[in-house]
Structures are given as C-alpha cells and as structure tokens.
Structure 1
Amino acid sequence: MKNITSANYKVTEKIDLESIATYNDFGTSNKKLRKSLKEIRIMLGAFQDTLYAHSKYSVLICIQGMDTAGKDSLIREVFKDFNARGVVVHSFKVPTALELKHDYLWRHYIALPAKGKFGVFNRTHYENVLVTRVHPEYILNENIPGIDKVSDLDQEFWDTRFEQINSFERHLAQNGTIIFKFFLHLSKEEQRQRLLRRLALKRKNWKFSPGDLKERLLWGKYQVCYEEAINKTSKPHAPWFIIPADNKKAARVIVASILLEELTKYKEIKEPELDDKIKANLEIYKKQLESE
C-alpha cells in the first residue's frame, strides 16, 4: 500500500473544502487496510506506554465532522490496542446547566488528558464556532455580557472567539500537550447513503434522529463555517488534518498513520533510565526473589 505522509493532509495554507477529495482507498482491498491499521495501532499502543513512563507530554486528539462522518467507529478502531487506562474519550453534547455557568472552554479544559495519557475529544471546543454559528441563538444561553440578542453576534465576536481558541491551544502546547485536530471530510452524497443505512438496518435504527435531516438541510452553511474555522485555527502547534472520510477503513488508516509519524518525531519521549544505585543492584534483587 502507498505510504501515507502526514504532510499530504496537514493544513498549512488557506484551503477550499470543495476542492479537497472526500474519498481514497489507496487502490487496495479492505483486508489490506484492516491489516495496515492493526500494525499501526499496535505501534501506537507501545508509544503510549512509553509516553506514560516519560510523563512529560500528553496527547490531545480532536475529531470533528458532520453527522455520520465515522467519528465513533474511528475512535473505537484506532485506539483498540491501547492500554485502557492510557486513553480517555470525551464526547461533548449540548452544554449542561452547570457548564453554561462557566465560559465555553471550561468543560473542555477540565477534560484535558493528564501527562502520559491520550485524550480524545469526540466533537470538541470547535462546536463553539460551528454549531453555535449555524444556530447563533444557542450563544444566548451562555449569558455573555453585552450579548443580548442574535444581532449582537457580528464578525468581530467570532474573530475574537477564534483568537481565544488559538490562545487556549497555544497555552496547552507550551505546557506539554501535543495537539492533533482531524476533520473527517465527508461528501453530502455519502452522508445520504449512511443515513439511509441507519433507516434500513434495524440494528442501526437507534442512531437515527429526525434532527439529522434538519441539520442536513444546513449542509452548505456548515461547510462554510468549517472552512473558516480550519483556516483561522490551523497552527504549527495545533494543526488541522483534513481526512477523506467517504471510505471509513481508509480514513482510520490515515489518522493512525499521521499520529504515528508525528509522534515518533519526539525523540525525547523514551523510558526513563533507572537510578544508578538500583541498576547496580539488579542481580541482587533478582537473586532475592529467586531464593524465596
């Protein structure tokens, strides 16, 4: 299978989503894609063990995409070979009453991964410049001073919010959090097919909501908001990667490959050396245990 290079997916200049492909299968079979993923995720799991022992960095993985883009299944498959204690997944829903008592980044900040761990945000702090932009009336629930009606939400408000998100991520990166942001780039036709499958297969019926169809009517608006958010917040310390998502198996391999390539660049992440005194007495400890 063709080698996957993170540079091919990383956003380093202004992008136009309409011009970016949503499908890739690398000209190979699903069987080979599954095999590649298995090999990569075993290496990622081993890296997480080393990350935990090193205990100076954490990894934050942000996953965004339209409904049916494959976020849940990607998380399940990519992190399958991790130590269960080494990865924590947070799925952010509609803010609770308590969360609305705080600023919009609070609930994301308290969910950040500890040093040595991976944290996965299934939907992220970017919902605050995506869903709330498509449905600006939601912002009023935040009780922000000076924002009393939807017409108060001008471009300056959203630009300020982008700046706040950039500052938030810069602060995290400067304090040892390695940040990845993945946009699962799905086509509208593929979403239609996946919604139809949810309706056709009884075991998938529970995933369907009439609200999915209402949001689908706003597809164009969401694409504009995603494009602006990506263009304004893809930074060297917190880059966006655009992943073609029409083929779920290929998307999983791409995400896993990017993670492995980028993380193994951190050569300082390695198991700590034993204390010289302990190292000098390893044979003594071994004999002590063997003589019991």
Structure 2
Amino acid sequence: MKNLNLEYFRVVEPIDLMKMPTKVEVDIDDEKKEKKLNKVRNKMSELQDTMYAHNRYGVLICLQGMDTSGKDSLIREVFKEMNPRGVVVHSFKTPNSTELEHDYLWRHYIALPERGKFSVFNRTHYENVLVTRVHPEYILNENLPGIEKVEDIKEEFWEKRFDQMNNFEKHITENGTIVLKFFLHLSKEEQRERLLRRLEEGKHNWKFSPGDLKERDEWDDYQKFYQEAINKSSKAHAPWFVVPADDKELARYIVGKIILNEMEKYTDIKNPELEEEIKANIKLYIDKLS
C-alpha cells in the first residue's frame, strides 16, 4: 500500500481502457484497507470544516461506472465522517418532464455545490455522451432544433457536446468549484459475479433489473464511449481518474485518498482570521462569560 502511486490513476494522456487494470494487487487485507480509509475520512472531515469556514470553494465529485461498479457503497463509505449538511448527493437518472424542458446541462447546473460544500454526482452530465450514444433515440426526447430522427444526429453533434461539457467545467472551476472525476473501472467478469449475487442473495434482489442484462449486452460499446469521453475531457482543471473497481474496499480508499490529496493542494483554504477588534477584546468576552 505504501507504494501505491495515486498519480498512476490520473488521466494525463489518451488511454486504452482495454489495457488498464480493473484490479491492483496489494499485500494488505480488507481490515487494514478500512483502517487506512478511516484515517482519510477523518482528515477529509477536518478539511471540510475548514473549507466551510473559508467559504471560497465548492467541490464537485463526479462518479461514473458500469452497473454494479460500486458507486453507491463508495459514496456511503468515503463520505460517512463528513457533516451530512455539507455533502449533497445527486443521482441522475432518466430526465423527467421538467428537466427535458431545459437544455441537458440545466439539471447539473442547479445541483452544483454551494461554497464550502461538496456535491457528489452519482452518474453525471457524461451520461449525455454515454447512454445516449449507445441509445441515440433518447436524444429525440430533448426536442432539439434540427433533430427529428436518429439519422439527424451526426458526429459533429457529439463533438459539440464534448465542447459544451469542457466549457461547462472550465466555467465552474474558474468560479470556485473544484472538479474531480472518477471512472470506476470494472471487469465484465466481476460485473457478472455481482449481478449473480444480487439474484442469489434475497436482501439484494431489489437491486436487480432485467434491464441490467440488456445494458450488459452493450458492454463493448459502453467501454468505447467511456474511453472516448475520458480522453476528450480529462483536463488539468477537471481531471479524470480511472480507478480499478474489482476490489471495492481498495477502490474506496483510492478515491478517498485522491480527493484528500487534491484538496490539500489548495493551501489558501484556511480558517478566516478574526477581526482585529474581536481579537483585541477576547479577554473581555471571556470575562463576561465567566
């Protein structure tokens, strides 16, 4: 674990997902992984308190991954020590009727974090260049000018979407939102085993949907489009991290540690100084309360 180089997971040049590992071998058991994650959680909680008092930055954590990649449990375990008022989780599913009356980024704009707080996107604005590329007919629901049928959706359409997303992230980072994006990289075999567990363990049956198998049939296309999305949108101001996800406990630690490391780079995040008048009268206030 000491030799786990977290920079390895940052995307700084084009990647080939097929060549990237879905599991990292480390000589440490799950109990020790949990202890290390707990240390990270406690430090994140302290940093959150300082960030809230500083009131200059918000933090946007974006999580993407195939079904069963562990997004929900990761959110629960990584952020469990933080003040729940300071962490808001948004799970973006199929757009509802109100959302479809706006442009596709609208629902993501209004879910951005307030200053001093974290927003976690469980599935993100990138769904608009992932699931919609596997199922381009979904775009027709947006009632866009000039798009009457699937054949109207040309390659230039997707290029514009990538430009819009990059501009969106550039805009919010320039206005105080720290953006960190994580792809939980799961193997197809591990997904198969996790889906089987959902079916075989009664308490997890509710998580299974026949639609999971339909989407699994599109595995290769999803991998292709994930790769393209990551390569086109990993920027210095809004980086992607590809995290091996076959080992859930290790993936949680890696994500938590990366978040902590990236946040610690913002050395200007400090508790605000008291006004000089208050400083000068602290003893007086203490005497009044004694």
- Identify whether the pair has TM-score above 0.5, normalized to the shorter chain: yes
On the 8 A contact 1:64/1:71 being kept in 2, the answer is yes
State the partner residue of 2:195. Answer: 195
- Name the SS of the counterpart of 2:184 in structure 1: strand
Question: CA, structure 1 residues 219+126, in 2 after alignment: closer, same or farther (shift >3 Å)?
Answer: same
Deviation per CA, 1:108-163: give whole Å up to 9, x if none: 00000000001100000000000001000000000000111101111110000000
Partner letter of residue 24 of structure 1?
V
State the partner residue of 2:147. Answer: 147
Deviation per CA, 1:169-222: give whole Å up to 9, x if none: 000000000000000000000000000000010000000000000000000000
Moved over 2 A (4+): 3-6
CA distance in 1, matches of 2:237, 2:68: 28
State the partner residue of 2:37. Answer: 37
- Name the SS of the counterpart of 2:126 in structure 1: helix
- Name the SS of the counterpart of 2:52 in structure 1: helix
Deviation per CA, 1:44-94: give whole Å up to 9, x if none: 011010110000000000000000000000000000000111110000111
- Name the SS of the counterpart of 1:258 in structure 2: helix
Partner letter of residue 279 of structure 1?
K
Partner letter of residue 131 of structure 1?
V
C-alpha displacement at 1:25, in angstroms? 4.3
Deviation per CA, 1:16-40: give whole Å up to 9, x if none: 0000000024221001000000000
C-alpha displacement at 1:6, in angstroms? 3.1
On the 8 A contact 1:59/1:119 being kept in 2, the answer is yes
State the partner residue of 1:129. Answer: 129
State the partner residue of 1:283. Answer: 283
State the partner residue of 1:246. Answer: 246
CA distance in 2, matches of 1:198, 1:97: 31
Aligned alpha-carbon RMSD (Å): 0.7
C-alpha displacement at 1:5, in angstroms? 3.6
Normalised by the size of structure 1, how large is the TM-score? 0.98
Partner letter of residue 289 of structure 2?
L
On the 8 A contact 1:58/1:176 being kept in 2, the answer is yes
On the 8 A contact 1:25/1:250 being kept in 2, the answer is no
Structure 2 residues not aligned, in runs of 5+: none
Q: Percent identity?
A: 63
Structure 1 residues not aligned, in runs of 5+: none
Partner letter of residue 255 of structure 1?
V
State the partner residue of 1:16. Answer: 16
CA distance in 2, matches of 1:47, 1:134: 40
Question: CA, structure 1 residues 223+273, in 2 after alignment: closer, same or farther (shift >3 Å)?
Answer: same
State the partner residue of 2:272. Answer: 272
Deviation per CA, 1:233-283: give whole Å up to 9, x if none: 000110000000000000000001101111101000000000011011111
CA distance in 2, matches of 1:25, 1:73: 21
How many correspondences in the alignment?
290
C-alpha displacement at 1:2, in angstroms? 1.8
Equivalent residues in 2 for 1:93-112, closer than 5 Å = 93-112=93-112
State the partner residue of 1:260. Answer: 260
CA distance in 2, matches of 1:123, 1:3: 30
Equivalent residues in 2 for 1:67-78, closer than 5 Å = 67-78=67-78
CA distance in 1, matches of 2:44, 2:97: 37
State the partner residue of 2:235. Answer: 235
Partner letter of residue 234 of structure 1?
S
CA distance in 1, matches of 2:255, 2:240: 12
State the partner residue of 1:117. Answer: 117
State the partner residue of 1:163. Answer: 163
